[in-house]
Structure 1
Amino acid sequence: MVKKVIAAVVLISLLTVAIVQAMDKKAEPGNPASQETTKTEGLQIGAKAPDFELKTLTGETVKLSTLKGKKVMLNFWATWCPPCKAEMPEMEKFSKQVGKDVVILAVNIDPQLDVKGFVNKNGITFPVLLDTEDKVNGMYQIISIPTTYFIDSNGIIQNKFTGAMQLAVMKQFTESLK
């Protein structure tokens, strides 16, 4: 009986190791299977950024198409998201350094929570847009947050970053925009 239990534990352990290794191999950067997965997630680089109109926390309306001629860093985030919270101070620093040709827009996907309290507590001064009907989140095919699109002055998506960004990455991607 004990031998059967030990054999079952060993068998399950080996099976678990095999599954984990197979998943790790699939997620390797050089593996074409993992590249195919990232190709189908979200909007593609080179695509026209879908136009939208959302209200800010202060009640102003922002329409993406009216920003043509400017570079746009379009960030999707939520108040409960740890990586989103981690990148907000970096985004605030960046907002103080950019010129008038760069616009930072932070689209909040959980407006039913205390977004205004979060913004005030963290001293955020760049525009925070509220996606109350979850339409823009869907248009941009957001799968994980934070996700940031870098849109050039012609309204074309030039880069996409998923995860918490550092200040240097924000600078690099916006400087490469036309």
Structure 2
Amino acid sequence: MIKKTIGAGILSGLLLFAFFQHFYKADRPEAIEASTTSSGIDIGLMAPSFTLKNLAGEEIALKDYKGRKIMLNFWATWCPPCKEEMPAMEKFYKRHSGDVEILAINLDPQNDVKAFAEKNELSFPILLDESGTTQQIYQIISIPTTFIIDEKGVILKKHIGSMSYEQMEELLK
């Protein structure tokens, strides 16, 4: 008898909980700035804003580049595919710096990123995600990961993995 009473009480509690969840959930905004799925930020939505320091210690915000197309690349100095794509990215930056801005967000700022950039003669902006917040916001699971963001701040494309120069050209189209 006691087991039946306890079971009925638990069942009643669960039903009451489900009822309140269904009818009293908070209103959700109709328009959202960024949506995510299990694979990360969705294409077609606004790129989440961020402010990070560059190698010179200056704060750079994504909104500073509004009106320009952006290639947003997440990478680390220890990552072989990231290292592999850096020369292609530099070549792409030199050729398309008037058309697209590269923002390379480094995920291991505890390493000597400045020395890495100098050794590899990288001239595009490198930003340091010291707290890991930007990585979390963009739900970066695998690196390198690259987003193409249009002039209005909308994510047009997402590429996971290393890219060749030709792939970068294709991604820009």
Scaled by the length of structure 2, the TM-score of the pair is: 0.77
Within 2, Cα distance between the matches of 1:69 and 1:169? 23
* Displacement of 1:59: 1.6
Other-structure match for 2:122: 124
Deviation at 1:170, TM superposition (A): 1.1
Over aligned residues, Cα RMSD in angstroms? Answer: 1.0
The alpha-carbon deviation at position 99 of structure 1 amounts to 3.9
Give the secondary-structure state (helix, strand or coil) at the position aligned to 1:97. helix
Q: Percent identity?
A: 53
Q: How does 1:131-150 map to 2 (within 5 A)?
A: 131-150=129-148
What are the Cα deviations for residues 104-143 of structure 1, in whole angstroms up to 9, with x where unaligned? 0000000001111111110101000000000100010000
Partner of 1:162 in structure 2?
Answer: 160
Corresponding letter in the other structure for 1:89:
P
5+ long unaligned stretches in structure 2: 1-36
Code of the aligned partner of 1:52? F
Q: Aligned residue pairs: how many?
A: 137
Mean Cα deviation higher: 62-71 or 79-88: 62-71
SS at 2:85 equivalent: helix
Distance 2:162 2:117 in 1: 17
Moved over 6 A (4+): none
Q: Which runs of 5+ in 1 are unaligned?
A: 1-38
Say which SS state the counterpart of residue 40 (structure 2) adopts: coil
Q: Counterparts of 1:7-156 in structure 2 under 5 Å?
A: 40-156=38-154
Taking the aligned partners of 1:65 and 1:58, their CA distance within structure 2 comes to 19
SS state of the match for residue 168, structure 1?
helix
Distance in 2 of aligned mates of 1:170 and 1:150: 10
